[in-house]
Amino acid sequence: MVTRGIRGATTVTHNNEEHILKETAVLLQEIVDRNEIQPEDICSVWITMTGDLDAAFPAKAIRQLDGWELVPLMCALEVPVAGALPQCIRFMVHVNTAKGQNEINHVYLNGAQSLRPDLATPSNS
């Protein structure tokens, strides 16, 4: 078993708590579903947001999910690069797994699909 990183990103349409929490939960669920993982498999989750999002901590959405209360979560501000995708939430999920790098499914949703079109695949739902 090794620790692997699973990348993910999404965008929101409004800088308000409801949208930030909803899209955070959707992104996490897609990562979990596409990689067949459980909270117990997760070492930690690093979450960043662009500076134009300040209405909520995305970790709040994750803490409200059953089984995620003990998973270490950290929120931070994304590096403010000119021309970067606005209203974006990014994840780096560290997971213990027997899967190889080529078996990891990274998840890019909404406008964030433009960040890595090579990794953005349609939702299973």
Binding residues for prephenate: 7, 90, 108
Whether 17 sits among the annotated catalytic residues: the reply is: no
Assigned token pair, 91: 């994840």
Host H or E run for residue 120: none
Q: What radius of gyration do the chain's Cα atoms show?
A: 14
Find the catalytic residue in 4, 23, 88, 90.
90
Nearest residue to 34 via CA among 79, 117, 97, 82: 97
Catalytic member of 4, 7, 23, 34 = 7
Residue 4 annotated as catalytic: no
30: enclosing H helix or E strand: helix 17-35
- Indicate which residue of 4, 30, 88, 108 is catalytic: 108
34 counts as catalytic: no
Separation CA 116–CA 20 (nearest Å) = 21
90 is catalytic: yes
Alpha carbon distance 101, 5 (integer Å) = 9
Please identify which of the residues 18, 43, 63, 103 carries the catalytic annotation.
Answer: 63
| Rounded Cα distance, 33 and 27, in Å | 10
Catalytic residues: 7, 63, 75, 78, 90, 108, 116
